[in-house]
Amino acid sequence: MTTITPGLRAAMLAAAEQQLVASADGDIATRAVCEAVGVTQPVLYRLFGDKNGLLDALADEGLLKYADRKAAQPKTDDPVADLLAGWDDHMDFGRNNPALYQLMFAPRPRSHAHARREIMDLLEDSLLRCAAIGALRITPNAAAQLILPANVGLVLSCIAQPELFDDPALSDRTRDAIFAAVLTTPEVSTEDGDPVAAAALRLRSQLAVTGTAALEPAEIALLDLWLQRLA
Give yes or no for residue 188 having a pLDDT over 70: no
Task: Report how far Cα 36 is from the mean position of its chain's Cα atoms.
Answer: 31
Q: What is the CATH T-level fold of the domain 1-49, as seen in this structure?
A: Arc Repressor Mutant, subunit A (1.10.10)
Element (H, E) at 218: helix 217-230
Architecture of domain 62-187: Orthogonal Bundle (1.10)
Assess contact for 124 and 104: CB atoms under 8 A. Answer: no
CA distance 176 to 230: 29
Assess contact for 146 and 178: CB atoms under 8 A. Answer: yes
CA distance 17 to 23: 10
Residue 190: predicted pLDDT: 46
CA distance 222 to 216: 10
Assess contact for 19 and 36: CB atoms under 8 A. Answer: yes
CA distance 157 to 107: 14
CA angle 74, 106, 162 (to 5 degrees): 80
Kindly give, in sequence order, each residue whose CB lies less than 8 Å from that of residue 13, ignoring residues fewer than 6 positions away: 54, 57, 58, 61
CA angle 190, 194, 200 (to 5 degrees): 110
How does pLDDT run across 87-134, given as a tens digit for each residue? 999 999 999 999 999 999 988 888 888 888 888 999 999 999 999 888
Q: Which of left, alpha, beta for 169 (phi over 0: left; psi -120 to 50: alpha)? A: alpha
CA distance 158 to 161: 5
Residue 187: predicted pLDDT: 60
Residue type, 1: M
The residue that leads in pLDDT, 107 or 178, is 178
The residue that leads in pLDDT, 195 or 32, is 32
Does this model's pTM top 0.85? My answer is: no
Task: Report how far Cα 182 is from the mean position of its chain's Cα atoms.
Answer: 18
Q: What are the domain boundaries of the chain?
A: 1-49, 62-187, 188-231
Give yes or no for residue 183 having a pLDDT over 80: yes
Residue 114: predicted pLDDT: 83
Count Cα neighbours of 82 within 13 Å in the Cβ-side half-sphere: 20
Give yes or no for residue 145 having a pLDDT over 90: yes
In the DSSP assignment, the letter for residue 98 is H
Give yes or no for residue 191 having a pLDDT over 60: no
CA distance 98 to 211: 39
Give yes or no for residue 193 having a pLDDT over 70: no
Assess contact for 108 and 55: CB atoms under 8 A. Answer: yes
Q: What is the mean pLDDT of the chain?
A: 90
Residue 1: predicted pLDDT: 64
Task: Report how far Cα 15 is from the mean position of its chain's Cα atoms.
Answer: 24
Determine the average pLDDT of the residues in 158-165: 95
How does pLDDT run across 5-64, given as a tens digit for each residue? 889 999 999 999 999 999 888 789 999 999 999 999 999 999 999 999 999 999 999 998
